[in-house]
Structure 1
């Protein structure tokens, strides 16, 4: 999820971490910026042309906490597309393509940049510099191709509710990655704005809700959905630990990679057996 967040013209000046100097219209000082946070979540995680409000770490905390809800909404739209097109291979391919279009392909771009940086075997600033390059290397191309292929293949074995569950789990990855204790790799950019904004209890509650919703993802196997979500989150935690070790923390690209990896692993878990 590269740092392409638009800065609204009426946004007060702030520091490099996204903090602003003023309080948004209608927000009491110290109040919870639900409206600003939900708008930020929609503009960051979807292609919807929603006008952003005040963008600071408080609204970022709301946005990152609401990410699974946005994922469930995206999953609902994609599930409808899949059903209307007949739930076959063509429908699966179009559904995956629609998923990329509805997010402007930002998560796939973040996946490619992250894999290129990891594949370079460099660490710290040298790895971050590779992430910032506009081109995509062979590791990144392979990562995008394999991810899209696996997602399309698994959708041919999945039902509509499995799509909702997988896309909600994919955006849950953002909430987990932005939990307290996970640092940002850079002093500026999207990663610095959202890193360590979500309290751990809220992360656990969001994970429990997504896992509970996945109970209906596999008909006749109520345990498989929660197990798939749990397995995907385990893989995510390993990715985040590796990112902190190699890059020093998370970036917008790492968040994009986390979304695609968690969505894909969840789909695999939902369609096994």
Structure 2
């Protein structure tokens, strides 16, 4: 059983390009479970880094939309583009007709199809405009929160009711491993959303309620999306979890700007 600190370390080594040595341990389901429990911490680190980068670039003459685009690119580079790749494969899989075997074949086919291109393009455009809007208003906390909230969808996707689509691969390592963590991270995320309305001088009740509602929407959307993917694909795989993360970030940034 990994300690929480060790779980975060392994999660960072798996999910980012951070220059940390790869852990020397057998990669079994107990490790996979610990890593998925720690995924939101990786989201917090990425969100904080993205907010810091955006704040630094905002001191230049770069337009807000350009900074938003650069933040999207930086996040893609920091995560090896794996979530965008998962989004592309999942979009192509959901866009085809047929049984789970056919969906799996399309997802493994390699070249991105029209559904993949359209979905990834739409998500990146929404994110860069959304990030740019938050940056223009100097809402650094909300920017970091949106990025962190997306990672909760990966935890939700690994809940006990959903099995792995294939007996091998990342999905088999992590599917069905999360239970209490789903509840814990939902509560933590709701509290983080409430802090959107908190300032040193006062509490903006409307902003606080909005933050909590956005968190609830991300959780519900993530629950529905992963359940839908599991029905179409016969279970969960790593691509679905990556797609869920990107969609979670997108839903969160839109919700925070409504």
2:69 paired residue number: 93
| The one of 123, 128, 136 aligned to 2:112 | 136
| The one of 222, 242, 256 aligned to 1:256 | 242
Is residue 88 of structure 2 the alignment partner of residue 115 of structure 1? no
- TM-fit CA distance, 1:216: 2.8
- TM-fit CA distance, 1:223: 1.0
- TM-fit CA distance, 1:49: 3.3
| The one of 172, 184, 203 aligned to 1:205 | 184
> Equivalent residues in 2 for 1:145-184 (5 A)?
145-158=121-134, 159-184=139-164
Distance 1:106-1:218 versus aligned 2 partners, 3 A rule: farther
Is residue 45 of structure 2 the alignment partner of residue 73 of structure 1? yes
Maintained 8 Å contact 1:79/1:161? yes
Count of equivalent residues: 241
Q: Following the alignment from structure 2 to structure 1, what is the Cα–Cα distance between the partners of residues 246 and 237? A: 15
1:229 paired residue number: 215
Secondary structure at the counterpart of residue 236 of structure 2: coil
Give the CA RMSD over aligned residues. Answer: 1.5
If the length of structure 1 is used for normalisation, what is the TM-score?
0.84
Q: Following the alignment from structure 2 to structure 1, what is the Cα–Cα distance between the partners of residues 250 and 123? A: 7
Secondary structure at the counterpart of residue 133 of structure 2: coil
| The one of 8, 23, 30 aligned to 1:52 | 23
Per-residue Cα deviation, 1:226-245 (whole angstroms, up to 9, x for no partner)? 11111112111111121111
Maintained 8 Å contact 2:4/2:38? no
- TM-fit CA distance, 1:206: 0.8
1:269 paired residue number: 255
Secondary structure at the counterpart of residue 157 of structure 1: helix
Per-residue Cα deviation, 1:80-125 (whole angstroms, up to 9, x for no partner)? 1111111811111111111111101100000000000100122311
Per-residue Cα deviation, 1:107-155 (whole angstroms, up to 9, x for no partner)? 0000000000100122311101111122100110111111110001111
Q: Which runs of 4+ in 1 moved over 6 A?
A: none
